[in-house]
């Protein structure tokens, strides 16, 4: 594989490669878009098949796919449409031979020698891509235009397990019935019905995909004689295959048409790929433990009496209580909490600093758990599944503009009731044995042996991940990583300042290092944090107390001349938030608030700081869309790409007294040398 050219687009790269193909026996060229996210993790891949007469260049230069690919973190591969070369057979006409490989394997000479585009696209190229580029193994989808639309639909219908989804622009849907198809199949000696999307639908007689997206211009000059979309639509209806065929007046067969709807197709595929990523993440795990399932079957639908650490009021130690956990209602699940890590926010609320703090309540929101039972209508998880409760849910409803947007993770579906410490129906699932109601917390309440959460707050993960490690991805660590990769999108070579080197701050350091930041300045009042911070990537560590009256922001500006490209507050202290902003680079520095400030606290700075180009922003849970992203973080950790053991500095065994162990964890956090204290239930 030889790299022929590279161009930059939306922070990613457009690369053109040539390689000696074994399938076609000729040199083959293809282009690929590698998104910025690929520097951090392997990405799902969309294969785009071009139409007659095209090479990979057409779609690369005119397809308009890269912004969406960059935003959604997926690669896109553009193979050529046929073998090329002097000794490759060709035809004078544009619809046969070079530029018209029809994504089939020819059996008749002179075509049989090189025209093996089916094998090339379905086997050779994906193997080459997965072996040499940051492509997530087996996570691929396929789309295409015209002849490429025919290829995308037929290839997908023939091997639905290999392709997560398929879509097309003005596809040749019934080639056995159109001049292009009949000519090609006859010349290439191919059984047309085996390479005809409409005929395959008829042959399958059932749906193979949840949906297929097709866009068709109504002013398309080939619509009447070549494309056969009506036959396809009828066959799909007969087979019960959902197809979303969008017909657009005022559009023809051109790349103007394709580029107008390309982003929708990328989104369509990324949704399907995310779904497949979740599903496949679970296949290779140990089966649920039958004994546990048998236990769960006994308690399903009934109240469970168990132990919990209840906060009766602010600034009081947690109290060891026996509580009754009601069964999950519609859209809810009840989970057995296996391990819980303490986050500063739990302490912040326990100390009465949270404006939304309600007592009595069961705190806790960074846990690993197992599904005990599910309420009516729950489909995404089942008893025995391993989940991480997420305080930022993801409803994925078509009407949810937040879940639909790549710009945010702040799904508001249950935020109102969550802030009121109750379930979406406005009631609690926790009572004392004498019936006193107890509030939920952050939609999680994992300081209890059993808790009830909304289905949309449960991220289903790989059972191979120990739950007392998985819990770390429920809040602090994910938040720090996401603040760098999602919220600020820190680029290689950047300078970064991180205020507060607890678990959140250190995750920012780890992520900045992985993103290729060239200078990472760690700031903390507690110098004990500097050793681990340096190991994770800090190039400099600053203790404000060492600089007398010099404001720490000035210390950092003096160290860097104009300030840092990115700064992060991970303390929750509003003065520190100000310092973080004011040490950001003149002209373009971005400062991200992660810390949670106490009630009544507000941030302030001179507007001049913003006028002169600094940007102040914030993040909740690092911008991660919880149910689709947390399982992938867990996979990366399992794959060794994302070490997190260093965050667990303390472990406690509850042995039936969650309160005692959690109070010890709180002690440890206050001790100053604790990052995460994990309590095993």
Q: What residues act catalytically?
A: 146, 220, 253
User: Which of these ranges, 227-235, 419-427, 568-576, 647-655, lies near ligand NAD under the rule CB under 6 A?
Assistant: 568-576
Residue 621 interacting with ligand AHE (CB under 6 A): yes
User: Which of these ranges, 149-157, 309-317, 409-417, 495-503, lies near ligand NAD under the rule CB under 6 A?
Assistant: 495-503
547 three-state secondary structure: helix
What is the DSSP track for 226-277?
A: II-HHHHHHHHHHHT--EEEEEETT--SSHHHHHHHHHHHHHHHHHHHHHHH
Rounded to a whole number, what is the distance in angstroms from the first to the last CA of the chain? 52
Nearer to Zn ion, 73 or 389 (CB): 389
Pick what 355 binds: ligand AHE, Zn ion, ligand NAD, none; C-beta below 5 to 8 Å, kind-dependent. Answer: ligand AHE
Distance CA 662, CA 574 (A): 28
- Taking the complex as a whole, the smallest distance from the CB of residue 157 to Zn ion amounts, in Å, to 45
Query: Please, which residues have CB within 8 angstroms of residue 312's CB and are 6 or more apart in sequence?
Result: 319, 359, 360
Residue 508 interacting with ligand AHE (CB under 6 A): no
Query: Cβ-closest residue to ligand NAD?
Result: 502
Residue 596 interacting with ligand AHE (CB under 6 A): yes
Q: Which H or E run includes 132?
A: helix 125-132
Q: 174, 495, 619, 628: which one contacts ligand NAD (CB under 6 A)?
A: 619
Bin 563: left if φ > 0, else alpha if -120 < ψ < 50, else beta.
Answer: left
Q: How wide is the angle at C-alpha 304 spanned by C-alphas 300 and 308, nearest 5°?
A: 140
Residue 620 interacting with ligand AHE (CB under 6 A): yes
CB 387 within 8 A of CB 369: yes
For the beta sheet containing 304-310, the strands, ordered from the edge strand earlier in sequence to the opposite edge, are 304-310, 319-325, 430-432, 437-438
Nearer to ligand NAD, 222 or 391 (CB): 391
User: Which of these ranges, 119-127, 245-253, 325-333, 617-625, lies near ligand NAD under the rule CB under 6 A?
Assistant: 617-625
Residue 478 interacting with ligand AHE (CB under 6 A): no
467 three-state secondary structure: helix
Cis check for the bond before 36: say yes or no (omega within 30 of 0). no
Distance CA 78, CA 177 (A): 27
CB 507 within 8 A of CB 482: no
Instruction: Number of residues interacting with ligand AHE: please give it, by CB under 6 A.
Output: 11
452 three-state secondary structure: strand
Which of the residues 456 through 475 are near ligand AHE (CB under 6 A)? 475
Which of the residues 459 through 478 are near ligand NAD (CB under 6 A)? 475-476
- Taking the complex as a whole, the smallest distance from the CB of residue 352 to ligand NAD amounts, in Å, to 14
- Taking the complex as a whole, the smallest distance from the CB of residue 606 to ligand NAD amounts, in Å, to 20
Nearer to ligand NAD, 234 or 620 (CB): 620
Q: How wide is the angle at C-alpha 30 spanned by C-alphas 25 and 31, nearest 5°?
A: 170
- Taking the complex as a whole, the smallest distance from the CB of residue 580 to Zn ion amounts, in Å, to 19
Instruction: Number of residues interacting with ligand NAD: please give it, by CB under 6 A.
Output: 31
Which of the residues 514 through 553 are near ligand NAD (CB under 6 A)? 523-526, 529, 544
Distance CA 313, CA 93 (A): 82
Can you read off the two tokens belonging to residue 343?
Answer: 């986050």
Bin 546: left if φ > 0, else alpha if -120 < ψ < 50, else beta.
Answer: alpha
Question: For ligand NAD, what does the binding mask look like between residues 367 and 396, x meaning CB under 6 A?
Answer: ------------------------------
Q: Which residues bind Zn ion (CB under 5 A)?
A: 343, 345, 475
- Taking the complex as a whole, the smallest distance from the CB of residue 366 to ligand NAD amounts, in Å, to 8
- Binding region for ligand AHE (CB under 6 A): 343, 345, 354-356, 392, 415, 475, 596, 620-621
- Binding region for ligand NAD (CB under 6 A): 343-345, 348, 475-476, 479, 499-505, 523-526, 529, 544, 570-573, 576, 594-596, 619-621
């Amino acid at each position: 594989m030889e790299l022929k050219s590279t161009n930059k687009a939306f922070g990613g790269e457009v690369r053109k490669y040539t390689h000696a193909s074994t399938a076609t026996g000729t040199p083959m060229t293809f282009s690929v878009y590698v998104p910025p996210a690929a520097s951090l993790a392997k990405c799902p891949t969309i294969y785009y098949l071009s139409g007659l007469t095209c090479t990979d260049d057409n779609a690369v230069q005119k397809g308009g796919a890269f912004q969406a690919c960059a935003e959604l973190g997926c690669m896109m591969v553009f193979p050529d449409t046929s073998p090329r070369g002097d000794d490759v057979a060709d035809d004078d006409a544009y619809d046969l031979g070079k530029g018209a490989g029809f994504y089939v394997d020819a059996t008749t000479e002179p075509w049989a020698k090189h025209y093996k585009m089916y094998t090339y696209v379905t086997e050779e190229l994906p193997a080459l891509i997965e072996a040499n580029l940051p492509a997530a193994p087996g996570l691929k989808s396929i789309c295409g235009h015209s002849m490429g639309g025919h290829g995308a639909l037929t290839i997908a219908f023939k091997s639905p397990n290999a392709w997560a989804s398929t879509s097309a622009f003005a596809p040749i849907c019934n080639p056995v019935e159109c001049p292009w198809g009949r000519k090609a199949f006859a010349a290439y000696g191919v059984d047309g019905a085996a390479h005809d999307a409409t005929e395959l639908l008829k042959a399958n007689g059932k749906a193979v995909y949840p949906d297929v997206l097709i866009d068709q211009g109504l002013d398309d000059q080939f619509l009447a004689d070549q494309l056969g979309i009506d036959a396809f639509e009828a066959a799909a209806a007969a087979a019960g295959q959902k197809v979303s065929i969008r017909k657009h007046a005022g559009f023809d067969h051109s790349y103007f048409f394709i580029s107008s709807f390309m982003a929708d197709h990328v989104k369509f595929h990324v949704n399907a790929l995310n779904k497949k990523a979740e599903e496949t993440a679970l296949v290779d795990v140990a089966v649920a433990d039958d004994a546990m399932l048998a236990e769960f079957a006994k308690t399903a639908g009934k109240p469970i009496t168990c132990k919990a650490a209840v906060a009766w009021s602010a600034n009081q130690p947690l109290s060891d209580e026996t509580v009754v956990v009601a069964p999950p209602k519609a859209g809810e699940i009840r989970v057995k909490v296996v391990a819980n890590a303490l986050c500063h926010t739990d302490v912040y609320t326990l100390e009465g600093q949270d404006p939304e703090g309600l007592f009595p309540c069961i705190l806790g929101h960074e846990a690993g758990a197992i599904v005990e039972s599910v309420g009516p209508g729950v489909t995404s998880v089942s008893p025995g599944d391993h989940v991480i409760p997420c305080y930022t849910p993801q409803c994925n409803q078509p009407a949810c503009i937040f879940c639909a947007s790549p710009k945010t993770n702040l799904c508001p579906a249950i935020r109102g009731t969550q802030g009121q410490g109750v379930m979406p129906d406005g009631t609690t699932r926790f009572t004392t044995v004498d019936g006193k109601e107890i509030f939920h917390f952050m939609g999680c309440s994992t300081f209890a042996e059993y808790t009830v959460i909304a289905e949309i707050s449960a991220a289903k993960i790989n059972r191979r991940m120990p739950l007392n490690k998985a819990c770390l991805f429920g809040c602090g660590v994910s938040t720090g990583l996401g603040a760098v990769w999602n919220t600020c999108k820190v680029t290689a070579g950047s300078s970064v300042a991180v205020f507060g080197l607890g678990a959140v701050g250190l995750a920012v350091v780890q992520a900045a290092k992985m993103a290729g930041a060239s200078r990472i300045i760690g700031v903390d009042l507690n110098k004990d944090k500097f050793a681990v911070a340096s190991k994770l990537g800090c190039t400099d560590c600053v203790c404000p107390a060492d600089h007398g009256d010099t404001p720490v922001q000035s210390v950092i500006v003096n160290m860097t001349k104009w300030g840092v490209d990115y700064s992060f507050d991970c303390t929750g202290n509003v003065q520190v938030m100000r310092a973080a902003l004011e040490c950001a680079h003149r002209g373009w520095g971005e400062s991200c608030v992660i810390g949670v400030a106490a009630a009544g606290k507000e941030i302030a700075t001179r507007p001049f700081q913003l006028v002169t180009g600094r940007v102040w922003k914030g993040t909740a849970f690092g911008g991660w869309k919880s149910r689709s992203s947390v399982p992938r973080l867990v996979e990366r950790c399992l794959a060794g790409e994302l070490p997190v053991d260093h965050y667990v500095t303390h472990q406690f065994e509850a042995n039936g007294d969650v309160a005692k162990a959690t109070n010890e964890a709180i002690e440890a956090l206050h001790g100053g040398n604790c990052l995460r204290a994990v309590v095993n239930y």
